[in-house]
Chain A
Amino acid sequence: MKDRLLPYWLLIPAFIIVLATTIYPLAYSFITSFRDWDLTESRRPGGFVGVENYAYAASESAFLNSLWVTTVFVVTSVILTVILAVALALLLRRTGPMHTFTRIILILPFAMSPALIGVSYRFMFNPEFGVLAQGLGAVFPALQGVPWLADPLLAMGILVLTDVWHWTPYMTFMCLGGLASIPRETEEAARIDGASNLRIIFGIILPQMRGVILVMAVLKTIFALKMFDQVVTLTGGGPGTSTETLAYFIFNVGFRWFDMGYASALAWILTAIMMFISIWYVRMLLSERKMATA
């Protein structure tokens, strides 16, 4: 064996693993999305039906509902997470024992499993014995006995809350990294030039954080688009279909109703949305770099 071939031989196992676990399922699901395949009737995919699965999606109200639910969820969750993370990072960027301690315990929500978060919030918002439901009721009498997870709007609110609670710490750390890269002199110069604290944050610090905030927003968008675990364990998509996100809907189509062809088509629609956002994000980021280094 020649030495120059050795690297390729060494790469082959990794290549096969990637092929088998990523490329093959992707390609297979893409092909399946153009076929009729009811898992209750056959273990093998049925015949090709062209774009019928995609066309059906465009007219099915359940799918359109999940698309709407996902949009509402993504927009609120991303905006809230980013704003909170930036605010927390601004509070935590100073160094000192208390700041360091707070930073350390801040990571805990992110370390929790999303499914577990869903279960615990479900318990905490139980109108009869949930600690949050009871606590809120005790502080605000008007909130006594509110069936939190039985109300479409409130259920969505709590779903967003769990996600914001889960992701804010991680986003705060990203933001802290970005803040650390801003030269301290710009802030001090602004202070001497006569800027108030608010002006320094909005006029000097945040504009320099544009790139980091953009990355945070796009990453959070992609994660939010895939929202699944908490839906399963917190609301089960309900009440009704009011918290049925796209990922949860796809799961139902595929593994409850066993319509694999349609589920594959839906999965590819979700993939296309995420690819579109990713490409847009990379382009924004590149132009940002160009501006910074020009």
Chain B
Amino acid sequence: MAEVRLVDIEKKYGSFLAVPKQSLTIHDGEFLVLLGPSGCGKTTTMRMIAGLEDITSGDIMIREERINDKPPKDRDIAMVFQNYGLYPHMTVRQNIEYPLKLRGIAKAARTKRVQETADKVELGALLDRRPSELSGGQRQRVALARAIVRTPSIFLMDEPLSNLDAKLRVTMRAELKHLHHELGVTTVYVTHDQMEAMTLATRVAVMREGRIVQLDTPKKIYAEPADLFVAGFIGSPSMNLIDGKVSDGVFRADGVNVPVDLPNRDGVVLGIRPEELEITDDATAPIGGQLYALELTGESTLVTLRNGPVSACARGHADFEAEINSPCYLTPKPGARFHLFDRASGERLDGVKH
């Protein structure tokens, strides 16, 4: 159990600023996800916590102890790598046993803990195989077992599921979540997959160009994205973002008229989630255009309409059918909310009328 604090940490490679100065506190027992597109500094941040990367300036505290200069092995952490990082010349048993062996734990105790851990991740029967004889999912379990066998106070996971196929990823996601619930160990998890972040996290830190742009619960990030980047990044299909301007208290774009509480200005982006829109015949609906595409996803149909440069998508009923290019209108569902952003800075603007 441990709280991790990053205090004014900064990372530079030569003159390139990978992670600008910022702070972050990871609470005890929390599952914190660092989410962002590739190259946003999330892995670098995690590697700094692990001690695999030096910090240019700032402090890393674990349990209020400054650990900047401690080698990785003395930080009481365990890490799961994207490519598993298994030792190919060792059997599954030897892989899991290795951290215990290095810590001088007696043979009998080691054997017992390896067996218990292997059973926990359902590897009990595969202990004498080599990593090359295992499937991707099994290898990932070995990596997990190697991390949990030592009962560290912090888990670091660097895109652990991204090398697995889609179906396995969902299963493993649930297993990870269960494991975290069971062990209650502080976990830092890096991913570029917003779905993983939403499903696993206690809190999500959305990162962009090295900077944390929003740090909050998945629910809050989904409901109230801090800026245009987060709004577009979180959610699938992603939020409709419509360029337009405000005049006379109304947000206007081609076929779009939404009353807002903002003074007249150009360069405004209106956002609304597809699942908060519904299809209507009412020609006075806030969003109107021609039907552009229908995509059946199984449980629903994604309805996309276009009007000049404006494009908007709604999650409609699976049975919805209409002619392509026929007029189509979208209206917010009860309780739905519009978001407003400044085009140039991406910042969130208040002033949406509900």
Interface residues of A (CB under 8 A from B): 183, 185-186, 188-195, 199, 204, 207-208, 210, 291-294
Contacts and interface: CB of A to CB of B under 8 A. Distances in A.
B85 A185 contact: yes
Given A188-B52, A189-B79, A194 B73 contact: yes
Contacts of B103: 194
B70 to A, nearest CB: 12
B98 A190 contact: yes
A186 B71 contact: no
Interface stretch (B1-9, B25-33, B56-64, B86-94): B86-94
A185 B84 contact: yes
B87 A183 contact: no
24 contacts: A183-B85, A185-B82, A185-B84, A185-B85, A186-B85, A188-B50, A190-B98, A191-B52, A192-B52, A192-B72, A193-B78, A193-B102, A193-B150, A194-B73, A194-B103, A195-B102, A199-B102, A204-B87, A207-B87, A207-B89, A208-B88, A210-B89, A291-B130, A294-B130
Given A192-B50, A208-B88, A208-B89, A294 B102 contact: no
A185 B83 contact: yes
A294 B86 CA distance: 16
A194 B85 contact: no
Of A183, A194, A210, the most chain B CB neighbours within 10 A belong to A194
A173 to B, nearest CB: 23
A193 B132 contact: no
Interface in B150-187: 150
Contact of A185 (B78, B81, B132, B150): B81
Taking chain A's interface residues, is the majority helix, strand, or loop, or is none over half, making it mixed? helix
B83 A192 contact: no
Contacts of B133: 294
Contacts of B79: 188-189, 192
B77 interface: yes
Interface of B: 50-52, 71-73, 77-79, 81-89, 98-99, 102-103, 130, 132-133, 146, 150
B106 to A, nearest CB: 16
Nearest to B75: A192
Nearest to B50: A192
Contacts of A207: 87, 89
Contacts of A293: 132
A199 B73 CA distance: 13
Nearest to A182: B88
A194 B102 contact: yes
Of A193, A204, A208, A291, the most chain B CB neighbours within 10 A belong to A193
A190 B73 CA distance: 9
B185 to A, nearest CB: 15
A204 B72 CA distance: 17
B98 A292 contact: no
A99 to B, nearest CB: 16
Given A293-B132, A294-B133, A190 B81 contact: no
A191 B78 CA distance: 10
Given A191-B72, A193-B146, A194-B99, A294 B132 contact: yes
Contacts of A292: 88, 132
A178 to B, nearest CB: 13
B73 A193 contact: yes
B50 A193 contact: no
For the complex of A and B, 5 pairs with smallest distance between CB atoms = A185-B85, A194-B73, A189-B85, A193-B99, A194-B102
A292 B131 CA distance: 10
Nearest to A292: B132
B345 to A, nearest CB: 38
A95 to B, nearest CB: 13
B175 to A, nearest CB: 20
Contact of B98 (A185, A193, A210): A193
A189 B158 CA distance: 12
A190 B89 CA distance: 13
A229 to B, nearest CB: 39
A154 to B, nearest CB: 41
A146 B334 CA distance: 100
Given A189-B85, A192-B72, 14 more contacts: A183-B83, A185-B81, A185-B83, A186-B85, A186-B87, A189-B81, A189-B87, A192-B73, A192-B78, A193-B150, A194-B102, A195-B73, A294-B130, A294-B132
A190 to B, nearest CB: 7
A108 B339 CA distance: 66
A186 B85 CA distance: 4
B53 to A, nearest CB: 10
Contacts of A192: 50-52, 72-73, 77-79
Contacts of A191: 52, 71-73
Contacts of B98: 190, 193, 195
A249 to B, nearest CB: 42
Contact of A188 (B81, B99, B150): B81
Nearest to A199: B102
Contacts of A193: 73, 78, 98-99, 102, 146, 150
Contacts of A185: 81-85
Nearest to A187: B85
A152 B146 CA distance: 56
A67 B103 CA distance: 50
Contacts of B87: 186, 189-190, 204, 207
